[in-house]
Amino acid sequence: MAYTLLIGNKNYSSWSLRPWLVLTEAGLPFEEQLVSLRSDAGKAGRFARLPAGRVPCLDHDGLLVWDSLAICEYLAERHPGLWPAGVAARAWARSACAEMHAGFGALRAELSMDVRARRPQRRRGPAVLADVARIERLWTETRAHFGRGGPLLFGTFTIADAFFAPVAFRFRTYGVAPAGAAGEYLDALLALPGMRAWEAASREDERLADHDLDLLYPDDPPAP
């Protein structure tokens, strides 16, 4: 069982965070390899070996699995317990992950992940506000239906938590503070050991001019 996970810079790569967190929280041994997102002359060469030309990608003894959802499903087949045990809970979890994987385009475009940054003053358009409201509702409903037994969406850690992990960092960066059960879940997600480890490592990442919020928006007023 030799897992190697190829990931992008931890400060910016939301897609890489998901399978990394699954492997970490599940206690599965793996090696990580950074594929820098820097837009330089060598970028095409760095990404040429990846099937889709992007991160993340899991290398399991030469078998390549790409896309965050496919990687997590592959891991779940090999390591039971990464999805909720109940049929209804598992179907809900998969639906939530698929919605996150395919949707929330405004949130992704306007509130990009930058773990180090604090930009609560960034404007949130109507489409972003609608995405935020949907996520808060989904978190609240999931906790109400399936959250007994722990502070996470389905009580204990599942792939669903990994899929909303980048949202947790985004919410903190942009000062989105859900109330009630959604806010409690946000705090619990940010407090996971894997999330803390990812955040600590992100402080060492190179700063990329086309990703870093402080470099992209230097004229924003300072965060309070």
Q: Which of 73-87, 179-193, 203-217 has the lowest mean pLDDT?
A: 203-217
Q: What is the CATH number of domain 87-201?
A: 1.20.1050.10
CB neighbour burial string for 114-130, b if at least 16 within 10 angstroms, e if fewer: bbbbebeebebeeebee
What pLDDT is recorded for position 115?
97
Please state the φ and ψ torsions of residue 129, each to the nearest 5 degrees.
Answer: -60, -35
Query: Contact 46/35 with Cβ under 8 angstroms?
Result: yes
pLDDT exceeds 90 at position 23: yes
Give pLDDT tens digits for 133-178.
Answer: 999 999 999 999 999 999 999 999 999 999 999 999 999 999 999 9
Give the pLDDT mean for 204-214: 87
What pLDDT is recorded for position 52?
87
Give pLDDT tens digits for 57-74.
Answer: 999 999 999 999 999 999
What's the Cα-to-Cα distance from 57 to each of 14, 71, 108, rounded to whole Å? Answer: 13, 7, 20
Predicted confidence band of residue 205 (pLDDT cuts 50, 70, 90): confident
What pLDDT is recorded for position 220?
74
Q: Which of 40-49, 98-107, 158-167, 184-193 has the lowest mean pLDDT?
A: 40-49
pLDDT exceeds 60 at position 222: no
What pLDDT is recorded for position 122?
85
pTM value?
Answer: 0.94
The domain defined by 3-80 carries CATH number 3.90.1150.10 = no
Q: Domain residues of the chain, as ranges?
A: 3-80, 87-201
Same fold yes or no, 3-80 and 87-201: no
What pLDDT is recorded for position 1?
65
What pLDDT is recorded for position 204?
84
What pLDDT is recorded for position 38?
84
